[in-house]
Chains A and B, each alone.
Chain A
């Protein structure tokens, strides 16, 4: 059973470009969390999704950030018009259902030049 997959592992963008981060959950998992880890900090919750549904987006910045988890395919975290402060590691975690153990992917390290 493959683990949680994230791609790309590393992403470099210039200010103003768009970043798309993908997360493929473990087989049988229909829920996904996204977290952001700023340099030398712990992970901070961003958004919680179920297939075709946003459950909790209270951790998402109000502008430029969006997330989706379609019926088919990976979950996508999209950052429009990136700024240097968006440079961070973005982790997703998948789980079977609410309150179940979260299994983390290896992360995408975004660098904004």
Chain B
């Protein structure tokens, strides 16, 4: 079955530090990969996505590259801000047809806290 593993948190950084949150996956076929962000008390927002190998998703200074050879989709940002403090979820969705098409499988989430 499909699974997603994220690095253990929480992660605490100072403003302007470099961020990496590791994500590896196991899936049948060639899934699409996603990063979602959850701010306190809110639902998940799509941060970025990549649908095939070597694609790079990017948004708001965050980037992640779909690495098929290492089955990874690590999230990076060169300079974090206090407003980036949130929970980050890596997820995948299968691209094959059938009832499971598009169903998201999530990692356990990584709490990021950025201090001024």
Give me the interface of A with B, judged by CB distance under 8 Å: 4, 6, 33, 35, 40-45, 48, 55-56, 58, 91, 93, 95, 98-107
Q: Which residues of B contact A (CB under 8 A)?
A: 4, 36, 41-46, 49, 89, 93, 95, 99-109
Pull 7 A–B residue pairs with CB atoms less than 8 Å apart, ordered by A: A40-B108, A42-B106, A48-B99, A95-B102, A100-B102, A101-B46, A102-B102
Q: How far is the CA of A35 from the CA of B38 in the complex (A)?
A: 14
In the complex, the answer to whether B43 meets A98 with C-beta atoms within 8 Å is: no
- Check A43–B89 contact: CB distance below 8 A: yes
Residue of B4, B44, B49, B100 with most partner-chain A CB within 10 A:
B44
Return chain A residues, CB-CB under 8 Å to B106. Answer: 35, 42-44
A42 touches B99 (CB 8 A): no
In contact, B89 and A98 (Cβ under 8 angstroms):
no
B105 pairs with A99, CB closer than 8 A? no
CA distance A103 to B34 in the complex (A): 13
Could you tell me the distance between the alpha carbons of A4 and B46 in the complex, rounded to whole angstroms? 14
User: Known contacts being A104-B43, A105-B43, A106-B43, is A33 close to B104, with CB within 8 Å?
Assistant: yes
